[in-house]
Amino acid sequence: LYSYFPGGPMWPPFRRSLRYAITSTSATSIDRATLSAVFARAFSRWADATRLQFTEVASASDADITIGFYSGDHGDGEAFDGPLGTLAHAFSPTDGRFHLDAAETWVVNGASSSRSGGVAVDLESVAVHEIGHLLGLGHSSVPDSIMYPTIRTGTRKVDLESDDVLGIQSLY
Ligand code: TQI
Ligand code: CA
Ligand code: ZN
Ligand code: ZN
């Protein structure tokens, strides 16, 4: 079953249209247009299950949600750890920060972003999971759900399970 963060934080009911900005991409070799497309697809999975709408904006100052790639210690007390381990993290509502570990070998549509030969991590799968956290979902005990706390490396899992849909629909 799905879960929420302690206290059930959520985006308030009068905020059904959320804006996101992709703000820090210098630490990744994935090009900007590709990132826009991947995150747009990831947000649309959640938009399709709710009345929420997501729009990309250019500037962090206009955004509710900010997305960026960082290496190691990046100033929020949750340092990244190099390849594998922590892949990304997102804060609960209404913080809106979503950070990705630039040290991962991110894969988009089956194509790797680096030639390092590291273990491939599917960017869209991680994005769909982290957006669940941004919206207020915790982890689920259903193994096939997006919000299950582990994923096999190299796997692509981007479709919401009925458990994810029930969880987000009871919140929004
Ligand atoms: N990052 C953890 C995660 O997003 C960070 C985390 C641990 C966390 N406990 C939390 C975030 C509680 C919110 C609430 O779960 S991760 C996966 C999965 C990670 C893991 O890098 O380990 C995905 C990121 F589920 F596949 F294991 C994305 Cl999809
Ligand atoms: Ca890592
Ligand atoms: Zn961070
Ligand atoms: Zn998680």
- Where residue 113 falls among pLDDT bands split at 50, 70, 90? low
Q: Give, using CA atoms, the residue closest to atom 29 of ligand 1.
A: 126
ipTM, two decimals, is 0.96
Structure confidence at residue 130 (pLDDT): 98
Q: Is the dihedral of CA 134, 61, 59, 49 positive or negative?
A: positive
Q: Identify whether 104 is a catalytic site residue.
A: no
Q: Which residues surround ligand 3, an ion (CB under 5 A)?
A: 76, 78, 99
Q: Which one of the listed residues 104, 124, 130, 161 is annotated catalytic?
A: 130
Domain 17-171: give its CATH code: 3.40.390.10
In this predicted structure, the answer to whether residue 35 has a pLDDT above a threshold of 80 is yes
How high is the pLDDT of residue 114? 63
- φ, ψ of residue 59 to 5 degrees: the values are -115, 135
Q: Give the C-alpha separation, 43 to 54, whole Å.
A: 7
Q: Residues with Cβ < 8 Å from 14, sequence gap 6 or more?
A: none
Cα of 114 from ligand 1 centre, angstroms: 22
Q: How far away, in angstroms, is 74 Cα from ligand 3 center?
A: 6
Distance 149 CA to ligand 1 centre (A): 6
Is residue 131's pLDDT more than 80? Answer: yes
In the chain, the percentage of residues whose pLDDT exceeds 90 is 88
Which atom number of ligand 1 is nearest to the Cα of residue 88?
A: 21
More confident of the two residues 60 and 119 = 60
Range name among 64-68, 117-121, 163-167 with the lowest pLDDT average: 117-121
CB-proximal residues (5 Å) to ion ligand 2:
81, 85-86, 101
Does ligand 1 come within 6 angstroms of the Cβ of 149? yes
Q: What is the pLDDT of residue 168?
A: 98
* Predicted local confidence at residue 151, as pLDDT: 85
Please state the rounded mean pLDDT for residues 50-75: 98
- Average pLDDT in the 5-27 region? 96
Provide the pairing of β-strand 120-122 with 105-108.
parallel
140 Cβ below 6 A of ligand 1: no
Shortest-distance atom of ligand 1 to CA 125: 29
Q: In whole angstroms, how far apart are CA 12 and each of 49, 95, 165?
A: 17, 12, 19
- Could you state, in order of their start, the residue ranges of all structural domains in the chain? 17-171
Query: What tens digit of pLDDT does each residue of 67-88 get?
Result: 999 999 999 999 999 999 999 9
pLDDT over 60 (residue 115): no
**pLDDT given for residue 119 in this prediction:** 86
Output 29 or 73, whichever has higher pLDDT. 73
For 62, the 3-state DSSP assignment is helix
Atom of ligand 1 nearest to the CA of 149: 25
Token pair for residue 57? 């904006």
